[in-house]
Amino acid sequence: MELKEIEKKLHELVPSECKMTKVEAEGLDIVIYLKNIGAFYENDQLIRKIASTIRKRILVKSDPSSLMPPEEALKTIREIIPPEAGVAEDGIKFNPEFCEVNIEALKPGLVIGKGGVTLKAIIQKTHWAPVVLRTPTMPSSTIKGIRSSMLKEAAARKKFLNALGKKICTNSEGKSDWVKVTALGGFNEVGRSCALVQTPHSNVLIDCGINPETFEPTKAYPYLNAMNLELDQLDAVVLTHAHMDHCGFIPYLYAYGYEGPVYCTTPTRELAILLQMDFISIANKNSQYSPPYGIKDIQKELSHMVTVDYGEVIDITPEIKLTFYNAGHILGSAMVHLHIGEGLHNLVFSGDVKYGFTRLFDQANTVFPRVETLFLDSTYGGRNDIQPNRHEADKRLVELAVQVCQRGGKVLIPSFAVGRSQEIMLVFEEYASKNKDFNWPVYLDGMILEASAIHTAYPEYLRHSIQRRILSNDSPFESRIFEPVKKERHEIAEGEAAIIIAPSGMLSGGPSVEYLKLLAEDPKNALFFVGYQSALSLGRKIQRGQKEVAMIGDDGRTVSVKINMQVETVEGYSGHSDRNQLLSLLKNMRPKPEKVFTLHGDEKKCEDLSRSISHIMRIESRAPMNLDAIRLK
């Protein structure tokens, strides 16, 4: 439905006493501006009637001319919101460009009120549209920076969203008769995930990552030149989750001319910005490598990110509808469902998917409205990729760690800052809560604390048990056993027995590498691998038994480090499904896809899983290579 048609219908539906002044397409939303917003809310059914007629997300706001002055509105809002909501001194901020007021609270439910009564009171008395945000229970510089940036860049963002809204509210140029996917990265490999979905009238990129294990451009970045498109011809980028092998190259698009949206969940936005900024920081410290983009490109990306909740159906082009579903991998991770045309084709990109138990998340979704084609994560799709029972893995991890600490050693656990670290933290937190004699500190280094803080801002994305604890002011991420690193790393390495969780998970850089250099030669210490080690990583070399490795010393020169420490691999903590879980996901998927394409796995794993799907599930399946073009319709 075009914007003019929408505006015409709204003039018919909105009562004249509401005094509608304008209608705008603002990104995914249709915004109605009224001079008499009180009259609108006298009819509780009106917003539902409008939404069902327009079939788009509707926002109702006061005309700027009727807004209460901010100083007066601030005082009024403070009087309406109960003190126990936990709104900080600087927790209320006005956004005149959008006629909104951001209210950050530790207990957002008290700001909303039963049945939205408190929000309605704020709207009717101040005429500002309240946007309620959860304050993380731990300080987060990332969330603070993102929310501040959104306010600072409000004028530019408003202009962008208006242009995007008009583009989406345009009738399709014609009926598409084909759908094609081009493999640009992450096919028959792990890293630089990227795929282009095309119709005659739409171009949508699914993920755009880097390979963090190499600086060689031909292996580190997606084959964007194979798109045969200018960047301004892209309609949208859809981001499944925040790991760098999926999001790490998106700022490059903005550095070289892309002006369109990035669609993702809200936690994915926060985590992607955190990890991209860290990537820039690490790259700038490496004299042998120049990052492919800068901070200003990340900031531009942020201003163009459009967040979408699980289960929300949105138009991303006039002919493509997008829906996100829980992928169970990391905070905010999503399976991507695309409905193309009027039933022309439905495809799902699993992203990185976990169809099994984790302490953090519910397992991946398996029910979709329609699916003809599935692109499936195959990280652990090999014939022998069977992970142990989680209860047994937890028991083994804790027992090994206690043994090392009892002999006076230090346990180094290299771990991804996002997802894996929080999962491991929960294992030790539960053990310590049941065993009061567990008195060894668990040091958290790098971005782990910041990533954990972001988890506390979005408890609705976590398992109900963890969500309930955070909402009850009993966050497991703030247990007595956890100690943020506030001293020199060599002091920890030379100190008493301890457990150290530090990124990166594959020993490709970051604090974990520094600790390895300090701890490796002492046999009392131990190195525990709890996640995937890619073929090119230092972690894989040590995991395979290499007893001497070359590393960069403090003076920038290569040094040889002897691995005398105990080395263990504790399986069962992957955020990816193992082979049995992948086959189980397919077995339980409704409806059953007609075709499956495997990706995001080493070549043998992708091919083996594909053959097994064809043989066991009787579904047409294959493992495409990078640069393959696949016609789906």
Taking the model in full, what pTM does it have? 0.94
Residue 361: inside a domain: yes
Give 581's DSSP letter: H
The answer to whether the CB of 568 falls within 8 A of the CB of 400 is yes
Residues 465, 449 share a domain: yes
Of the candidates 574, 577, 614, 44, which has an alpha carbon nearest to the alpha carbon of residue 356? 577
Strand pairing category for 29-34 and 57-62:
parallel
Residue 21: inside a domain: no
CA-CA distance, 180 to 194, in Å (whole number)? 14
Residues 376, 246 share a domain: yes
Q: Is the pLDDT of residue 502 over 70?
A: yes
Residues 543, 409 share a domain: yes
pLDDT per residue over 57-98, tens digit each?
Answer: 899 999 999 999 999 999 999 999 999 999 999 999 999 999
CA-CA distance, 85 to 163, in Å (whole number)? 37
Residues 367, 287 share a domain: yes
Q: Is the pLDDT of residue 289 over 80?
A: no
CA-CA distance, 552 to 98, in Å (whole number)? 50
CA-CA distance, 149 to 110, in Å (whole number)? 26
Give the Cα-Cα-Cα angle 15, 77, 159 (nearest 5 degrees).
Answer: 60
H or E element in which residue 75 lies: helix 70-80
pLDDT per residue over 516-529, tens digit each?
Answer: 999 999 999 999 99
Residue 111: inside a domain: yes
Residue 363: inside a domain: yes
Q: Is the pLDDT of residue 137 over 70?
A: yes
Residue 415: inside a domain: yes
CA-CA distance, 50 to 405, in Å (whole number)? 63
Residues 375, 231 share a domain: yes
Residues 374, 455 share a domain: no
Residues 396, 377 share a domain: no
Domain count across the chain: 3
Task: Count CB-CB contacts under 10 A for residue 370.
Answer: 13
Final residue belonging to a domain, choices 569, 595, 614: 569
Residue 159: inside a domain: no
Residues 490, 463 share a domain: yes
Strand pairing category for 410-414 and 345-349:
unpaired
pLDDT per residue over 172-219, tens digit each?
Answer: 777 899 999 999 999 999 999 999 999 999 999 999 999 987 778 888
Residues 436, 289 share a domain: no
Cis, peptide link before residue 591, omega less than 30° from 0: yes
Q: Give me the chain's average pLDDT, please.
A: 94
Final residue belonging to a domain, choices 535, 569, 603: 569
Position 287 scores a pLDDT of 63
Give the Cα-Cα-Cα angle 229, 232, 237 (nearest 5 degrees).
Answer: 85
Q: Which domain holds residue 74?
A: 67-135
Residue 104: inside a domain: yes
Q: What is the CATH number of the domain that holds 96?
A: 3.30.300.20
Of the candidates 461, 119, 116, which has an alpha carbon nearest to the alpha carbon of residue 311? 461
Q: Specify the amino acid at residue 342.
A: E
Residues 314, 215 share a domain: yes
Final residue belonging to a domain, choices 516, 543, 569: 569
Q: Specify the amino acid at residue 160.
A: F
Residues 341, 289 share a domain: yes
Residue 406: inside a domain: yes
Residues 627, 501 share a domain: no
pLDDT per residue over 449-462, tens digit each?
Answer: 999 999 999 999 99
CA dihedral sign, ordered 87, 93, 98, 99 = positive
Of the candidates 456, 503, 446, which has an alpha carbon nearest to the alpha carbon of residue 476? 456
* DSSP reduced 3-state for 417: coil
Q: What is the CATH number of the domain that holds 348?
A: 3.60.15.10
